Structure 1
Amino acid sequence: MDVRLTGAQALALRMTSLLLRPHPVARPADVAGVVEWFGAMQAQDVASGMWSLGVRLPGRTLDDVREALERREALRTWPMRGTVHLVPARDARWMLAVTGVRVLAGAAARRATLGLTEAEADRAA
């Protein structure tokens, strides 16, 4: 099947999938729903993460988004790529289990480069 889209059609589909324009089916109505829609959202910078959620939740205030995060509707954690993400609370454990091995191996190599022993790292933690 050969599907051809105009630039405007491709842009409309992209903006819809990013929840940046009205969605024809069911737009997520809360922080948990938005984060689940994407699976994970980059949130290295707290303000940018809050903005990214807020722009996708029309009618919600910054306080609404903060309160949802305080209720742990989504978690801000370090599951992949060495950057902080917002992830669905129910998925954080398995994401960290799957990706944590590589991160921990990298941390051990970094400690060795810095000349830190495992005991010193444990004491610091």
Structure 2
Amino acid sequence: MKRLNVDRARGLRAGQTDAEQVLWYRLRNRHLQGWKFRRQNEIDQYIVDFVCPDAALIVELDGGQHGEQVAYDEARTRKLQNMGYRVLRFWNNDVLKNLDSVLEVIMEALASPAPHPNPLPEGERE
């Protein structure tokens, strides 16, 4: 299974959408405020579009096919959030037409600390 995901991730990197190419150009090589991003990275059984491991931030780009798989995407997002990641989703069209706004949302998420994956119950907090 692991080998299949590695091969699949490699294939996804080679066949990036236009929106993924545009966003990757702005995220790669620590271009965005020095944060390190990876693309088409395997996390558990999923391959995420972009991840900044140090900020526990995942950025997903959705095309038209995602309108047909809403329940799957929501379940996937919940599982990644339960693993301690924050997940941002953008439509491909937003990246292509409003890249600066997309980058601003990503930078705001990077500036705020990631929530603890296992917070204390309400009564046990200081």
Same fold at TM > 0.5 = no
TM-score normalised by length of structure 2: 0.28
The structure with more strand, counted as a fraction of residues: 2
